[in-house]
Amino acid sequence: MTFKSRFRNSALAIIAALAASLHLAPAGPASAQTTIGPETRLPLPRYVSLKTDRVNLREGPSTSHSTRWVYQRAGLPVEIIAEFSNWRRIRDAEGADGWVWHSLLSGRRTAVVAPWDAQARKIIDLYERPDASSAVAVRVQAGVVGAVRSCGGDWCRLSVRRSERSEISGFIRQDQLWGVYPDETLD
């Protein structure tokens, strides 16, 4: 056996041992697993929304990278998954990801109602109270975007636009929204 093959075998054994020890390490509390963004010092991942009706999703964090997609809907929720300088890597409800300029994002919280049922055109009830036995306040189609007013961990109060000057709100189970985390509370 040559020195080179012994070295490679030893290195592979060390890597395998390290990998095994990482898998056996006890998981810490959820808060210890939160990553902090290097630019903003805010948690990653986190939900935000698009600020304008035209946002270029780029392949990399600069204008020299090609545009992968153009979002054309202000208020659409996205998830920031990384930061680099003034660029934020985002992911949308369909799983597409790329980079956008930070000032095109807003901290305003919005959510998509059951985007996984949007093609089936499923109708979802929003209730007057955070209780499925309460009266239905409004019925919306899956895929509708609304403003998240509050969340208590199981239910969220969501406002949806009926017209340019009118909106209606109701309560929806938190697991029927993309744009809030399970058990997340918002005031």
* In the chain, domain spans: 31-108, 112-186
Is it the case that residue 23 has pLDDT exceeding 50?
Answer: no
pLDDT at 170 over 90: yes
Tokens of 119: 């093609």
pLDDT confidence of residue 7: 34
Look at the block and give the residue holding tokens 């980079």: 99
pLDDT in tens, 64-118: 999 999 999 999 999 999 999 999 999 999 999 999 999 999 999 999 999 999 9
For the chain, the first-to-last Cα distance in angstroms comes to 66
Q: Is the pLDDT of residue 3 over 90?
A: no
pLDDT at 66: 97
Please, are residues 144 and 114 in contact by the beta-carbon 8 Å criterion? no
Phi and psi for 146 in degrees, rounded to 5? -135, 165
For 157, residues 6+ apart whose C-beta sits below 8 A from its C-beta are 130, 148, 149, 150, 151, 169, 170, 171
Which residues lie below 8 Å from residue 100, measured CB to CB, with a gap of 6+?
55, 56, 57, 58, 78, 87, 88, 90
User: What's the confidence (pLDDT) of residue 33?
Assistant: 54
Q: 31-108 and 112-186: same fold?
A: yes
Q: Report the mean per-residue pLDDT for the chain.
A: 85
Q: Of the ranges 8-12, 113-117, 126-130, 157-161, which one carries the lowest mean pLDDT score?
A: 8-12
Q: Does domain 112-186 have CATH number 3.40.1130?
A: no
Query: SS3 of 134, please?
Result: coil
**This model's pTM is above 0.85:** no
Predicted pLDDT of residue 1 = 44
The number of angstroms, rounded, from the C-alpha of 7 to the middle of its chain's C-alpha atoms is: 44
**Which CATH code, of 3.40.630.10, 2.30.30.40, 1.10.10.10, 3.40.47.10, is assigned to 31-108?**
2.30.30.40
pLDDT given at position 22: 33
